Amino acid sequence: MSAHEPAGRHMDARGAGDKAVENSDYYDVIIVGQGAAAFSAGLYAARYKMKTLMIGEEFGGETLTSSIIENYPGYLQIDGLDLMVNMKQQVEALGVQIIDGRADQIEREGGRIGVRVGEEAYKTGSVILAVGRERRKLGLPREKELTGKGVAYCATCDAPLFRGKVVGLAGGGDAAIKGAIMLANYATKVYIIYRGSALTRPEPISLQKLSEKPNVETLLEATVVELLGEERLQGVVIEQKGQGRIELAVEGLFVEIGADPRTELAEALGVELNERGEIIVNKLMRTNVHGVFAAGDVTDASGDLKQVVTGAAQGAIAATSAYQHVSEHPDACEYHAAGYTID
């Protein structure tokens, strides 16, 4: 144990270091998510010698949608995918078990918490919710059918597929601007379609880079109202103030209009949310529910600043709080013996 780790009992597979009948399905902490906050929590939990399980349906979270990251300490620049791969390899090297799947049920019974993934159930003394946010959709007819057939939600992931083509991008925030910059490196033409009268608070450096892309055109006070095409997207119809309905011949439409916190699991546990649907946490990443912690973009911990660095910091704090919680409540063994399950 390094000088940066708190003193405490060495936890083993029985949970909290107690002498109990071993149950391989019991964990000191279960971390839900596979983004920066989750991997950081996994790193710290493993170093505290907690038996740790990570469950995540989408590897990488929002960081995976970033092309080149230039504001994460220690790197002049790094690809978002590379950073997430590095984080995952780091926690795997420390023995953290990772399940690629959806945590589709979570329940509390007594002092313990059960998490179900498909037909499998896992038990724990603490949970860290680091589930991030889900990208908003336009809500247009045939949007779902055309997803992957011209409609996309990740410029970093899919921009190379539109080399030499004309594309549109719906949105006007900083993430949208960064997506347009990425697309401009491949597409012959990029239309930014935004309902506001001005782009929404992009970073100055993003605006500077956008101004250097002559193949980007910004259409303000405009909204996508219709998707054209049967088997694949062939165009969009927009409504623009003072111009009426305009048809744009595009082969791709990237939707970058924000995201909403994933709170289904939190609500199932009775975790308190704020008016924006974010999990309310204190400075130790504790929620109002005993043994339940949260970190990253799903929380209100850092206001509007949702960054890789803030998520990673919150994950470390959440793991430390979970470690302290499990250390202070070493009664997990009686639940092992009881064979707690989720119905």
Q: For the chain, which domains are there? A: 26-134+259-338 (3.50.50.60), 137-255 (3.50.50.60)
Position 74, amino acid? G
Comparing C-alpha atoms, which of 251, 205, 198 is closest to residue 221? 198
Each residue's pLDDT, cut to its tens digit, for the chain (343 residues) gives 443 444 343 454 334 433 333 345 799 999 999 999 999 999 999 999 999 999 999 898 878 766 678 889 999 989 888 999 999 999 999 999 999 999 999 998 777 899 999 999 999 999 999 999 988 999 999 999 999 899 998 887 788 889 999 999 999 998 899 999 999 999 999 999 999 999 987 889 999 999 999 999 999 999 999 999 999 999 999 999 999 999 999 999 999 998 899 999 999 999 999 999 999 999 999 999 999 999 999 999 998 888 899 999 999 999 999 999 999 876 544 433 333 333 3
Contact 87, 39 (CB under 8 A): yes
Looking up tokens 């596979």, which residue turns up?
Answer: 34
